[in-house]
Amino acid sequence: MPKFAANLSLLFNELGFLDRFAAARSADFDAVEFLFPYAFEAEQITGRLQRYGQELVLFNFPSGDWTAGERGFACDPRRIGEFQDSVEIALEYALELGVKQLHCLSGKQHPAVAPERAHATFVDNLRFACAALAPHGIRVLVEPINDRDVPGYFLTRSAQAAQVIADAAVDNLFLQYDIYHMQRMEGDLAHNLRELLPLIKHIQLADVPGRHEPGTGEINFPYLFRTLDELGYDGWIGCEYNPRGATLDSLGWRDAIAAHTAASAA
């Protein structure tokens, strides 16, 4: 049975952010993730993690102006200095919060920047970030994101992400595989998980369409979870979905998956 982490940027958002840790603990989540910590003092978050005995498994490098539609800038050759500054900020928080994986958003490709230059800039920036984080035992992850939800996003396919990782040629760069995004872009999820497993250090989920909880759409999650168990995946799976109602009402899928797993093993 996979290990699930609550994504506190999407789940329990009927509460204020700092109150979501307690809600996740009440819902039996031993681990959490979120998009960004930067609006808070690190001590505010570490206090919650310690109080509720939770592991923080992931957050993102700074993204730029999220509300204006920015989704990172690591592929933008005009913003290399800004990216390097963002690595310093992310590392400071990572060390305070004890997280061992950070996601580097590629950003959107600027219309005036050729794809080859965007790729080279992304690879160089990833090498810089990985070199800064490696002495602290922290991995950098890259995640393909579907370009229907985020038009213009540079990193959109798993093969493209694998090529970025190969070209960077560093030891602490890996793949964050989002089931929702890759179902929208590629499908063939079980095959791709098998092929890419050596690169995958984190997985996220939501169903398609709607980005709601498992069981609301077309993805066969029991089969995927069984596949991951068979493959020996031992990392976390972040629950990064938009509940159709209250978060607690959306969690019945976990019990259904556990029951399905037990019945399959019997």
Q: Over the Cα atoms of the chain, what is R_g? A: 18
User: Which of 157, 129, 160, 141 is closest to 200 using CA atoms?
Assistant: 141
State how far the Cα of 48 lies from the Cα of 153, in Å rounded to an integer: 33
State how far the Cα of 155 lies from the Cα of 36, in Å rounded to an integer: 20
Pair 164, 122: CB distance under 8 Å = yes
Can you say whether the dihedral through the CA atoms of 133, 102, 79, 115 is positive or negative?
A: positive
Active site residue ranges: 143, 240
* Phi and psi angles of residue 129, each rounded to the nearest 5 degrees, phi first: -65, -45
